[in-house]
Amino acid sequence: MRWTEVIRKYLPIWVAISISLALVIGYFYPEVKALEPLIPFLLFVMLYPMMINLRVEDIVKAAKAPKIISLALFMNFLLAPLLGALWAFILLRNTDPYLAAGFILKIVVPCSGMVAAWTGYARGKVETALIVVALSLLLAIFFVPLWMWVFARIYVSIDPFMILRKLILIVILPLIAGIITRKLLIRRMGVERYWEIVPVFPAVSTIGMLTMVFIVIATQAGVIVPNFHYVLLVIIGIATLYPLNFTLAILLSKAFHLDFGDCIALGYSVTAKNHAITIGIAVTAFSGTLAILPASVAPMLQIPIMLLFLNFSPKIERFMGVASGSKSENDSRGHGKRKGQVKEVRGGKRR
């Protein structure tokens, strides 16, 4: 097993180790705060590799699937923020105010880069997932500041224009650099050789994320350790809200007569959230606060929850009432693309 596969497969364990070490070391050795100057460099290491394989050109295909795109945008930018705000109020209103704001941020930022991979594993429509991811991440630049201003300002002071500027720096500049890098690499080494090195990009991004999590959690260990129930509340929130999002996606797919392939694409695209961008915003817009905690804890839970629905995909298929002909089509779309698009996202899109 290659080192990149070890990082991907055991990410929840690595995150748990990173958080545990950060709490212990940060609590007993507050001098770890001296590592904070590394954060800007780690932010670049975390975000730039992730953007190399984000294919924004897929957005032009959105007109081919207006129904599912509309449902995905409704869930990502209206329903999810409402539920995130409700969960934050129920679970976190009496805790640190930045913890509640960080939880809302974690739910508002959409679409992990692994959405297309999970969709492919479950024999869903990978092309649909890629369109939703690209479109949602670009729209997030405008909707995240809006919803943070609407919902999070009851807990902390929110400057939506500051968040907008941070998002432009976090998303647009690395995205442009990533697109240029991908085109240069393909031109220089060819497509086949490019796919061979693709797994390195998300692995490097994950290493940057784990190091970032360690530093920012360590600096807050003096607050978190005496209030460890904060971590438990975040876990409860994510462990209940994420499955609810996926279940609602299934029910809406059934109500709007989507097929199984689109249902799976919708479920993963509105449930799996982007860790790297959320951490980037929390670190830069809410520096030195517990807003980072939900984004740090979430990776421990997201992969097991995604695996749970992957295991349930045959039952979801039966619930959607897929006919044999439609099932065959989905097989060719989901399974057959693993040599192409899913090969890309398996290695090339982590978050």
All structural domains of the chain with their residue ranges: 3-348
Express as a percent the part of the chain with pLDDT over 90.
58
343 pLDDT tier (thresholds 50, 70, 90): very low
| CA pair distance 231, 251, nearest whole angstrom | 30
- In terms of Cβ atoms closer than 10 Å to its own Cβ (0-12, 13-18, 19+), residue 126 is buried
User: What's the angle, vertex CA 60, arms to CA 320 and CA 172, rounded to 5?
Assistant: 110
| CA pair distance 36, 212, nearest whole angstrom | 9
**Can you give the pLDDT at residue 191?**
87
Express as a percent the part of the chain with pLDDT over 70.
91
| CA pair distance 171, 138, nearest whole angstrom | 8
| Topology annotation, domain 3-348 | Na+/H+ antiporter like fold (1.20.1530)
336 pLDDT tier (thresholds 50, 70, 90): very low
**Can you give the pLDDT at residue 349?**
42
Q: 191-199 — which CB contacts under 8 Å span 24+ positions?
A: 195/343, 195/344, 195/347, 198/53, 198/344, 198/347, 198/348, 199/2, 199/4, 199/5, 199/8, 199/346, 199/347, 199/348
Mean of pLDDT values over 20-30: 94
The average confidence (pLDDT) of the chain is 87
Q: Is pLDDT larger for residue 96 or for residue 327?
A: 96
Instruction: Give the pLDDT confidence of 200-210 residue by residue, as tens digits.
Output: 888 888 898 89
Residue 101 pLDDT greater than 50, yes or no = yes
62 pLDDT tier (thresholds 50, 70, 90): confident
**Can you give the pLDDT at residue 1?**
58
Find all residues with CB under 8 Å of 113, minimum gap 6, and list them: 50, 53, 54, 133, 202, 274, 345, 349, 350, 351
Instruction: Give the pLDDT confidence of 30-54 residue by residue, as tens digits.
Output: 999 898 888 888 888 888 888 887 7
- Side-chain-side CA neighbours of 198 within 13 Å: the count stands at 23
What is the distance in angstroms between the CA of the first residue and the CA of the last residue of the chain?
21
**Can you give the pLDDT at residue 321?**
83
Q: 37-41 — which CB contacts under 8 Å span 24+ positions?
A: 38/211, 38/215, 39/212, 39/215, 39/216, 39/283
Question: Longest Cα pair distance anywhere in the chain, in angstroms?
Answer: 63
| Angle separating helix axes 313-320 and 229-255, nearest 10 degrees | 30
Token pair 């971590």 in the structure block, residue: 231
| CA pair distance 161, 146, nearest whole angstrom | 9
- Structure tokens given for 173: 């500049």
**Can you give the pLDDT at residue 337?**
42
Instruction: Give the pLDDT confidence of 116-140 residue by residue, as tens digits.
Output: 888 988 999 988 988 898 899 899 9
Residue 331 pLDDT greater than 70, yes or no = no
Residue 334 pLDDT greater than 80, yes or no = no
347 pLDDT tier (thresholds 50, 70, 90): very low
Mean of pLDDT values over 173-186: 90
Least confident interval from 50-54, 72-76, 155-159: 50-54
Find all residues with CB under 8 Å of 202, minimum gap 6, and list them: 4, 8, 49, 50, 113, 347, 348, 349, 350, 351
Residue 10 pLDDT greater than 70, yes or no = yes
